[in-house]
């Protein structure tokens, strides 16, 4: 163990606060009040004996009576006419798509219960993000409307149609605009429907705007190259990646796609071939992407533009007057410029800014670096975000002027996520006909006269064209649960289109456009789920126009932004833009960096907060000139000084019982230039964090090496050198003749996005416990992603390139390692030996089994588990009114996986290695009389991981992927020294500090 780094999970631990040490001595957060009962009022009460006898007598009587009843009669009701494709007990999979990514929907007896990535999909190749994984719960959302509304009252569809047609005709006749407000529409069929609608009502105007907008890039590309598109980035072709505030692994444009590309240059295979990309991140708050960066420099938002100007100057050799007031960043820019120009043709610079001038400057830099055609593809653009807020702004002005006669909201919620929502609400009152296609009475729908409730995507037909040449189909997997109607069908209905049925419309549209191009039939598409056409040839591109004006604008804009405290708004990885605010899986998914659940917060650098005299979890008011909110403070290492970061997507008011009032809405801040004041106010609000729940007591469980060290010795930092200690076993060796299921996790690949957590929740019926319970350390997640901070303590000799890393002292320069942690299925499991009832035992296939019905809840096992992965059911989460808002209602429980039992109060649970999947896979092989091949059985977490960081398989099969992975020199086992012989191997994290050419 040659790592001298010190890691820490939270600030308390780093500062070694005595309370922290004290509170973490215990396995469970709160001691049970046994002593109180025994010593306090319990026994000295006047008549404890009589009460005791009474209770006992009553209990005995009740139990005897209850035992006398005959077992309840259970009914078994078969289908009257069984659909041919349904076999009860066997899942059916349907190819569909979610936000353009091709998915497979698993249905059981007609209910969708899980969403999985389509392995053939060229965008996600089988992986999915947390939001898509959680989306199945949106179908079973209790907040959904059951019938369309007219003036707040349920009405039949005929009334809605009559109202809509009358309103539309009136607007058309009066010569007023009919506006269809949507978020990005990349569905060819929806576009065709809107065109058909426009043909009937020529006054129609389609306005697309996105809550999180990328119009800056689109406009910049229009200015620079005359192509108003969002390009496709090719991170897999980039050897040096420099990002200015773009969280491309977490939330920027298409994180799933980018993670795949990014990791392909940093995973085990790439390292084996001695290749690793270099990634430098300049940003304000610590983002998921920032945690993965080889070098990370904290910057204020106002410094980003200046930094880019400086970088351009360095690369182009022109001098610039703009000076960075940040010595570290200035130095870093110089080094970065050197590295970038060395990697010309394989370099990529991206910026998270939505300012078109900044993006034009980025275009100029990429053009200098020869990125176009290699790492940026403008000829096969992305259509994932095409919204333009300027159009919407114009519409609001028009609405205010009273020239809009009717407005239809499709998949958009400006009353919540538009920056000037007050102005919008005011403008909306001046529109005569207001119709929303929302499926719930959300912020905007509740201001509309009619809510023509739309299908959930799992009930609907549809299609999408997220990137050039790629078309995905959406097909229904369940009959509409409520009296909803597809929005497109409503539009067709109102436009008196001859085709009223959207299925027929989509099919006809595909048969006319996409299918002939691909040479496929409709049936092919329904089976495959998508069509991928060959990519268009790349045409050489030249930057048009003079850049100096742009630079001048960027400099002046940046100067305007500079303030005493600068606000940085970011997109939460879990909740995104907040559309899925009522999804309990996502609300309870810990943030990838801060590990906070159920809230947004004001992230401050601890050192800076000290200066301001603010303690962690103090309430502060963030105030701009037009808007203010009160938020609790979170100390975030890595945060730039004099800045505060707040996540968007929180503070929903009308989304449902789960999400209402969770966090505060930060969208109105988008209207400001980012200058805020921070005022401490009365109050203390402790955030529910999952990470600080256990102490790892400084043990050597995270291992890292630099790429240079790795090249010298692949085993560097992994602890695998020379001879190991001789070990002695108390137990006999457990034979595993058949299978031996093990796992390998590549810390260098894991980005900490949390998709695995949600996938595990959905697969294994893991309950959602809510904020209070998380706060009491009672979250139930079977897999967690531990985030460890560290910084270099020693003053090692500093090479020029390494200098970037050696900038310390301001709590800005932290590096992060994400470590997925679940039951390690130890061969010599400490939990097994302490269970008094043998409820947890080992199997001959290397799995640590947990028999819930045997468990009596002593919790010894959790106490004795060195990895702290066991979870105790403090409540009967599936049948307890306290959890009604989450999963304890009959409707939401339709999403349960029938192959996994729901656990009762008082029993332990933990990762089972998806034993139901293993058993199903084995059974399938037995029925087919074939061998079980590697990859036939996949864990839910492994399946969804966009980085392929988790590999699962049979260690008895020397050809399996996992067997090969575990022979890697980087493999180490967490707490190996305890000789519990874990079944999960980890691979050291490698950081490319750039001292060697990648």
Partner 1 sequence: MRNFSSGFKNLVKSITLFTFFIFSLPTLVCAQTTAVDTSKAAASTVATAPSGDAAAGEALFKANCTSCHALNKRVLGPALAGVNNRHNEAWLIKWIKNSPAMVASGDKEAVKIYEEYNKAAMTPFPQFSDDDVKNILAYIKVEGDKGPVDKTDGPKLPPSADAGYSNYMIFGLIAVVIVAFLVILLLNKVIGTLERLLLKRDNAGITLLEDEQLDENHQPKDKLYIARKLVKNKKLVFFVVLCGVLTLGSFGWMDLWNTGVQTGYQPVQPIKFSHQLHAGTNQIKCQYCHSSAWKSKHASIPSANVCMNCHKYVQATEKYNGEISPEIKKIYAALDYNPETQKYGENTRPIEWIRIHNLPDLAYFNHSQHVKVAGIECEKCHGPIKEMAEVYQYSPLTMKWCINCHRVTEVNSKGNAYYDKVLAAHEKIKKGEKVTAAVLGGLECGKCHY
> How many residues belong to the site for partner 1 (CB under 8 A)?
49
Contact 101, 472 (CB under 8 A): yes
Q: Which is nearer to partner 1, 797 or 853 (CB)?
A: 853
Residue 74 CB, nearest distance to partner 1 (Å)?
Answer: 4
Residue 993 CB, nearest distance to partner 1 (Å)?
Answer: 45
Tokens of 300: 């204020």
- Distance CA(435)–CA(490), nearest Å, equals 11
Other CB atoms within a 10 A radius of the CB of residue 556 amount to 13
Stretch that binds partner 1, among 124-132, 407-415, 798-806, 908-916 (CB under 8 A): 908-916
Q: Which is nearer to partner 1, 285 or 767 (CB)?
A: 767
The interface mask with partner 1, positions 545-584, x = CB under 8 A, is ----------------------------------------
Tokens of 487: 């929005």
CB-based contacts of 619: which residues, under 8 Å, 6+ apart?
Answer: 630, 631, 632, 633, 680, 681, 682, 683, 684, 685
Residue 229 CB, nearest distance to partner 1 (Å)?
Answer: 49
Per CB under 8 A, 879 contacts partner 1: no
Tokens of 542: 């030249």
CB-based contacts of 107: which residues, under 8 Å, 6+ apart?
Answer: 91, 92, 93, 94, 113, 477, 478
- Half-sphere CA count of 177, side-chain side, radius 13 A: 21
Residue 99 CB, nearest distance to partner 1 (Å)?
Answer: 32
Tokens 């999909």 label which residue? Answer: 121
Per CB under 8 A, 844 contacts partner 1: yes
Q: Which is nearer to partner 1, 67 or 564 (CB)?
A: 67
Stretch that binds partner 1, among 592-600, 625-633, 708-716, 909-917 (CB under 8 A): 909-917
Residue 884 CB, nearest distance to partner 1 (Å)?
Answer: 22
Find the Cα–Cα–Cα–Cα dihedral 185, 187, 188, 193, rounded to 10°: -70
Residue 928 CB, nearest distance to partner 1 (Å)?
Answer: 8
Interface of this chain with partner 1, residues 56 to 95, rule: CB under 8 A? 67, 71, 73-82, 87-90
Stretch that binds partner 1, among 32-40, 673-681, 744-752, 912-920 (CB under 8 A): 912-920
The interface mask with partner 1, positions 919-948, x = CB under 8 A, is x--xx-xxx-xxxx----------------
Residue 895 CB, nearest distance to partner 1 (Å)?
Answer: 17
Residue 28 CB, nearest distance to partner 1 (Å)?
Answer: 25
Q: Which is nearer to partner 1, 191 or 922 (CB)?
A: 922
DSSP line for 413-437: -HHHHSTTHHHHHHHHTT-SEEEE-
Tokens 């975030």 label which residue? Answer: 636
The interface mask with partner 1, positions 846-875, x = CB under 8 A, is -x-xxxxxx---------------------
Q: Which of 599, 805, 899, 968 binds partner 1 (CB under 8 A)?
A: 899
Tokens 């603010």 label which residue? Answer: 614
Residue 909 CB, nearest distance to partner 1 (Å)?
Answer: 10
Residue 905 CB, nearest distance to partner 1 (Å)?
Answer: 14
Tokens of 163: 């109202």
Tokens of 149: 């509304």
Alpha-carbon distance values, 546 to 359, 361, 542, 559 (Å): 14, 11, 12, 22
- Distance CA(855)–CA(873), nearest Å, equals 11
- Distance CA(540)–CA(454), nearest Å, equals 44
Q: Which is nearer to partner 1, 729 or 793 (CB)?
A: 729
Interface of this chain with partner 1, residues 696 to 735, rule: CB under 8 A? 735
Q: Which is nearer to partner 1, 492 or 831 (CB)?
A: 831
Q: Which of 843, 858, 864, 876 binds partner 1 (CB under 8 A)?
A: 843
CB-based contacts of 63: which residues, under 8 Å, 6+ apart?
Answer: none
Residue 704 CB, nearest distance to partner 1 (Å)?
Answer: 35
Q: Which is nearer to partner 1, 198 or 956 (CB)?
A: 956
Residue 847 CB, nearest distance to partner 1 (Å)?
Answer: 6
Stretch that binds partner 1, among 437-445, 637-645, 844-852, 965-973 (CB under 8 A): 844-852
Per CB under 8 A, 831 contacts partner 1: no
DSSP line for 749-786: T-----HHHHHHHHHHTPPP--HHHHHTT----SSEEE
Q: Which is nearer to partner 1, 878 or 886 (CB)?
A: 878
Interface of this chain with partner 1, residues 948 to 977, rule: CB under 8 A? 956
- Distance CA(845)–CA(664), nearest Å, equals 48
Q: Which is nearer to partner 1, 55 or 919 (CB)?
A: 919
Interface of this chain with partner 1, residues 303 to 342, rule: CB under 8 A? none
Residue 373 CB, nearest distance to partner 1 (Å)?
Answer: 50
Q: Which of 901, 934, 978, 979 binds partner 1 (CB under 8 A)?
A: 901
Contact 971, 962 (CB under 8 A): no
Residue 748, classified by CB atoms within 10 Å of its CB into exposed (0-12), middle (13-18) or buried (19+), is buried
The interface mask with partner 1, positions 190-209, x = CB under 8 A, is --------------------
User: Distance from CA of residue 725 to its chain's centroid?
Assistant: 42
Q: Which is nearer to partner 1, 46 or 78 (CB)?
A: 78
Q: Which is nearer to partner 1, 607 or 849 (CB)?
A: 849
Residue 913 CB, nearest distance to partner 1 (Å)?
Answer: 9
Per CB under 8 A, 623 contacts partner 1: no
Per CB under 8 A, 44 contacts partner 1: no
Tokens of 530: 């998508």
Other CB atoms within a 10 A radius of the CB of residue 23 amount to 15
Q: Which of 737, 809, 836, 958 binds partner 1 (CB under 8 A)?
A: 737
**Is residue 187 classed as helix, strand or coil in its secondary structure?**
coil
- Distance CA(161)–CA(156), nearest Å, equals 9
Interface of this chain with partner 1, residues 507 to 546, rule: CB under 8 A? none
For residue 895, which of 135, 315, 187, 65 has the smallest C-alpha distance? 135
- Distance CA(649)–CA(651), nearest Å, equals 7
Phi/psi region, residue 825 (left: phi>0; alpha: psi -120 to 50; beta: rest), is: left
b/e map 966-987, b = 16+ CB within 10 Å: bebbbbbbbbbeebbbbbbbbb
- Distance CA(223)–CA(791), nearest Å, equals 42
Tokens of 975: 């707490």
- Half-sphere CA count of 3, side-chain side, radius 13 A: 24
Q: Which of 367, 621, 916, 995 binds partner 1 (CB under 8 A)?
A: 916
DSSP 969: T
Q: Which is nearer to partner 1, 5 or 922 (CB)?
A: 922
Stretch that binds partner 1, among 281-289, 658-666, 708-716, 910-918 (CB under 8 A): 910-918
Tokens of 64: 């005897």
- Distance CA(114)–CA(943), nearest Å, equals 12
- Distance CA(449)–CA(163), nearest Å, equals 9
Per CB under 8 A, 841 contacts partner 1: yes
Tokens of 713: 């010795």
Q: Which is nearer to partner 1, 854 or 868 (CB)?
A: 854
Per CB under 8 A, 915 contacts partner 1: yes
**Is residue 376 classed as helix, strand or coil in its secondary structure?**
strand
Q: Which is nearer to partner 1, 170 or 922 (CB)?
A: 922
Residue 516 CB, nearest distance to partner 1 (Å)?
Answer: 39
Residue 760 CB, nearest distance to partner 1 (Å)?
Answer: 14
Residue 775 backbone dihedrals phi, psi, to 5 degrees: -60, -35
Residues in the chain: 998
Alpha-carbon distance values, 660 to 577, 578, 599, 895 (Å): 15, 11, 11, 22
**Which residues form the interface with partner 1 (CB under 8 A)?**
67, 71, 73-82, 87-90, 735, 737-739, 839, 841, 843-845, 847, 849-854, 899-901, 912, 915-916, 919, 922-923, 925-927, 929-932, 956
């Amino acid at each position: 163990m040659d790592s001298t780094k010190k890691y820490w999970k939270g600030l308390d631990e780093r500062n070694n606060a005595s309370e922290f040490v004290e509170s973490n001595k215990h396995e469970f957060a709160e001691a049970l009040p046994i002593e109180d009962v025994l010593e306090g009022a319990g026994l000295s009460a006047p008549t404890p004996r009589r009460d005791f006898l009474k209770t006992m007598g009553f209990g005995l009587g009740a139990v005897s009576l209850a035992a006398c009843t005959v077992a309840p009669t259970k009914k078994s009701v078969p289908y009257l006419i069984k659909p041919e494709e349904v076999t009860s007990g066997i899942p059916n999979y349907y190819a569909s798509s979610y936000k353009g990514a091709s998915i497979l929907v698993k249905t059981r007896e007609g209910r969708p219960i899980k969403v999985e990535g389509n392995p053939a999909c060229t965008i996600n190749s089988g992986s999915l993000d947390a939001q898509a994984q959680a989306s199945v719960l949106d179908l079973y959302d209790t907040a959904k409307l059951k019938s369309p509304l007219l003036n707040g009252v349920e009405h039949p569809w005929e009334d809605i149609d009559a109202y809509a047609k009358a309103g539309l005709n009136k607007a058309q006749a009066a010569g007023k605009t009919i506006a269809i407000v949507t978020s990005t529409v990349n569905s060819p069929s929806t576009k065709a429907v809107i065109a058909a609608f426009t043909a009937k009502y020529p006054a129609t105007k389609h306005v697309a705007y996105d809550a999180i907008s990328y119009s800056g890039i689109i406009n910049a590309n229009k200015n620079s190259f005359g192509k108003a598109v969002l390009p496709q980035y090719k991170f897999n072709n980039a050897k040096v990646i420099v990002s200015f505030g773009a969280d491309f692994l977490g939330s920027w444009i298409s994180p799933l796609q980018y993670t795949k590309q990014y990791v392909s240059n940093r995973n085990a295979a790439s390292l084996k071939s001695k290749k690793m990309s270099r990634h430098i991140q300049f940003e304000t708050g610590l983002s998921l992407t920032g945690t993965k960066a080889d070098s990370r420099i904290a910057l204020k938002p106002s410094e980003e533009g200046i930094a880019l100007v400086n970088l351009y100057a360095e690369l182009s050799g022109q001098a610039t007057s703009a000076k960075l007031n940040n010595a570290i960043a200035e130095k870093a820019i110089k080094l970065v410029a050197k590295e970038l120009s060395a990697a010309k043709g394989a370099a990529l610079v991206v910026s998270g800014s939505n300012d078109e001038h900044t993006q034009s400057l980025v275009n100029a830099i990429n053009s200098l670096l020869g990125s176009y055609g290699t790492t940026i593809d403008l000829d096969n653009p992305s259509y994932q975000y095409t919204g333009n807020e300027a159009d919407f702004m114009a519409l609001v002005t028009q609405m205010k002027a009273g020239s809009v006669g009717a407005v239809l909201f499709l998949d958009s919620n400006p009353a919540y996520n538009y920056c000037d929502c007050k102005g919008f609400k005011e403008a909306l009152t001046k529109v005569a006909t207001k119709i929303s296609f929302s499926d719930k009475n959300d912020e905007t729908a509740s201001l509309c006269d009619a809510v023509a409730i739309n299908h959930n995507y799992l009930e609907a037909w549809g299609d999408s064209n997220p990137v050039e040449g790629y078309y995905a189909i959406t097909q229904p997997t369940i009959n509409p649960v409520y009296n909803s109607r597809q929005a497109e069908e409503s539009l067709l209905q109102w436009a008196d289109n001859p085709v009223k049925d959207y299925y027929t419309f989509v099919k006809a549209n595909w048969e006319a456009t996409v299918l002939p191009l691909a040479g496929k039939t409709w049936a092919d598409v329904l089976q495959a789920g998508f069509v991928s056409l060959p990519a268009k040839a790349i045409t050489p591109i030249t930057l048009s126009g003079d850049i100096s004006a742009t630079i001048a604008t960027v400099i002046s804009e940046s100067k305007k932004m500079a303030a005493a405290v600068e606000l940085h708004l970011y997109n939460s990885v879990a909740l995104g833009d907040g559309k899925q605010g009522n999804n309990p899986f996502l609300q309870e998914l810990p943030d990838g960096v801060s590990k906070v659940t159920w809230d947004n917060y004001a992230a401050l650098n601890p050192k800076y907060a000290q200066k301001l005299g603010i303690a962690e979890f103090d309430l502060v008011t963030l105030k701009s000139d037009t808007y203010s909110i009160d938020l609790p403070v979170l100390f975030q290492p890595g945060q730039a000084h004099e800045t505060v970061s707040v996540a968007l997507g929180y503070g929903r008011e009308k989304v449902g019982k789960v999400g209402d009032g969770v966090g505060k809405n930060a969208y109105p801040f988008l209207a400001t230039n980012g200058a805020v004041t921070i005022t401490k106010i009365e109050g203390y609000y402790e955030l529910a964090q999952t990470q600080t729940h256990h102490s790892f007591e400084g043990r050597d469980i995270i291992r890292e090496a630099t790429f240079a060290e790795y090249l010298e010795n692949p085993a560097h930092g992994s602890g695998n050198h020379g001879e190991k200690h001789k070990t002695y076993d108390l137990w006999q060796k457990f034979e595993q003749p058949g299978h031996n299921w093990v796992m390998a996790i590549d810390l260098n690949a894991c980005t900490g996005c949390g998709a695995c957590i949600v996938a595990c929740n959905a697969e294994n019926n893991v309950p959602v416990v809510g904020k209070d319970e998380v706060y009491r350390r009672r979250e139930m997640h079977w897999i967690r992603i531990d985030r460890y901070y560290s910084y270099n303590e020693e003053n090692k000799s500093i090479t020029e390139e390494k200098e970037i890393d050696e900038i310390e002292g301001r709590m800005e320069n932290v590096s992060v390692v994400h470590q997925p942690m679940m039951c390690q299925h130890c061969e010599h499991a400490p939990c097994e030996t302490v269970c008094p009832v043998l409820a947890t035992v080992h199997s001959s296939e290397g799995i640590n089994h947990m028999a819930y019905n045997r468990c009596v809840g002593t919790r010894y096992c959790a106490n004795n588990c060195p990895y702290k992965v066991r979870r105790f059911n403090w409540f009967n989460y599936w049948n307890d009114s306290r959890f009604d808002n989450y999963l304890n209602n009959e409707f939401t429980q339709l999403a349960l996986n029938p192959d996994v039992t729901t656990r009762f109060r008082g029993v332990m649970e933990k990762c089972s290695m998806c034993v139901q999947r293993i058993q199903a896979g084995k059974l399938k092989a037995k029925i087919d009389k074939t061998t079980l091949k590697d990859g036939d059985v996949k864990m839910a977490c492994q399946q969804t991981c966009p980085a392929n960081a988790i590999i699962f398989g049979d260690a008895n099969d020397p050809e399996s992927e996992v067997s090969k992975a575990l022979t890697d020199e980087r493999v180490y086992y967490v707490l190996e020294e305890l000789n519990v012989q874990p079944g999960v191997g980890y691979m050291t994290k490698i950081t490319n500090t750039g001292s060697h050419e990648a």
